[in-house]
Each structure stands twice: as C-alpha cells, then as structure tokens.
Amino acid sequence: MELPMAKAINAGLRAAMLADDAVMLMGEDIAQLGGVFRVTEGLQEQFGPSRVLDTPLAEAGIVGTAIGLAMRGYKPVCEIQFDGFVYPAFDQIVTQLAKLTSRHSGTQSFPVVIRIPYGGHIGAIEHHQESPEAYFAHTAGLRVISPATPHDAYWMIQDAISSSDPVIFLEPKSRYWHKGPVDDEQAGATMTQARIARSGTDVTLIGHGAAVSMMHHGSHGRGYGSSSPGSVNLCRAPLSSRRSGVIFNLDKNAEQRVIDIM
C-alpha cells in the first residue's frame, strides 16, 4: 500500500497498540483532535480515552508522567507538539529519563517513546521548525532515530515502542505528506540498522529523516548518478547507532568520502 508518512506512523501506532495493551499515547491535542498533523487521528475512537489521552500544555509534566507510567509497567508514547516545545521537558528527558536505567543498575527499564515533529521547510514561526536532535544524540541512555520514508516510519515506530530503552522518535515535518510504499507484512528497518538507499562506490552520504530525500535529489543534480564517472552510496542511518553502517561503507571502498548531513 502507499501512504504518506503521517498515516504510516498512525498505522504503526495502531499496530503497536493492538499488539500490546500496555501501550498508551499522550500529548497535547492528540486525542480528540488527532494531533496538529493528524498523526494520531482515529486512535482514541478505537482504543478509548484511557489509552489515548489529551494532556495539559506542560511538556515537563507529559514526560514526567510518562516516566511514572513506565515504572508501573506501561509503555507510554508521548507527543511533543513541535520541536521547539521540547525544551521545558529537557531536564526530565536528559537528567532523569536518560539516566534512570543506569541509576537502577539495570534492574528497571523505562520504555518511553517521545515523538517530536522536527525540522523546517514548512514556513512556520519560531519554536515550530527547529532541529534539536544533536542535544539528544549526544546524551547517553537515549536512542535517537528519524525515519526517511513511510515504510521506515511504519516499522521504526513499532520497534521503538517495543524497546526497553527510552527513544526519541524524530518525525520530519516536511515529509509528513509525501507518499511512499509501505509493506505491512515485510518488516522494514529497525532502530539500530543503517539502510543503504542507493549503492555507489565513490562517495558515501549519510543522513537521517528529511535529509535522505534531499541527498538523493542533490546527488543526481550534482552529477553523481549512475551514468556519471562517480557514483553515490546513499545511507540512511539512525542518529545514535550509525557506527555499523558507516564502517560497512568505509570498508567497501577505500576511496570513499563520508558526508554527514544533519
């Protein structure tokens, strides 16, 4: 089937909720409205108000509540409405959530997923088109991922929810309504896998989220297509798990250059 990324994430959330009654969603306007970008549309109607909750406009409270729910055996999936709204929750995420498993000597897991629409190219005002991923990617204890395609999004959100680790799930706003094929039977990328989007031998471009599409089009525009003397090895990689994919590409050809587009 073909879906825009927003609908692919919606389908992935639905699949995760059907598979595990411990999964619950929470965030500002995600229940009755279905979220600003309608990513959670229809889920409260299907699963009820006890599993899909509207919260006050208090990001620190949203994440703090999710931490408590995780300690009680739930698998909360929070939505931060826009990237620039995440900073009030920064202490809860970086100082608390990221450290709690270590603080408990590994005896307690905190399976919290924090969904954050991020990035620009939507003509929005301040606080609505930022890229805070570097803060989280450099924080030990967090997994940080961003899908590049609807197929990625469908499977990666489910993998994130099934993880016992806290996950920052960055959703590229500029790709929400770009359609792509989604195979709901053939499992796609996991959080820890880099995906080779296009093979080549001369240049390796590594990126995440919306950058993968930009690199794809840009590499053709710069003459790196298959008919040119040089060719591109285009790699979509998780922010916090890039090492294996990068090493694979470096080992493949000693003449490569690696360009990391954030």
Are residues 149 and 2 in contact, defined by beta-carbon separation less than 8 angstroms?
A: no
> Cα separations (Å) of 199 from 52, 131, 210, 245?
41, 28, 19, 13
Paired strand residues for 117: 171
Query: What is the arrangement of strands in the sheet containing 195-198, beginning at the earlier edge strand?
Result: 195-198, 232-236, 203-207, 257-261
Report d(CA 35, CA 179) in Å as an integer: 19
Report d(CA 73, CA 2) in Å as an integer: 35
Residue with the two structure tokens 């959330």: 13
Catalytic annotation, pick one of 128, 151, 178, 216: 128
Closest CA to 135 of 105, 95, 165, 102: 95
AA identity, residue 119 = G
The answer for residues whose C-beta is within 8 angstroms of residue 209's C-beta and 6 or more apart is 118, 119, 146, 147, 148, 170, 171, 172, 175
128 included as an active-site residue:
yes
The enclosing H or E element of 52 equals strand 52-54
Catalytic residues: 128
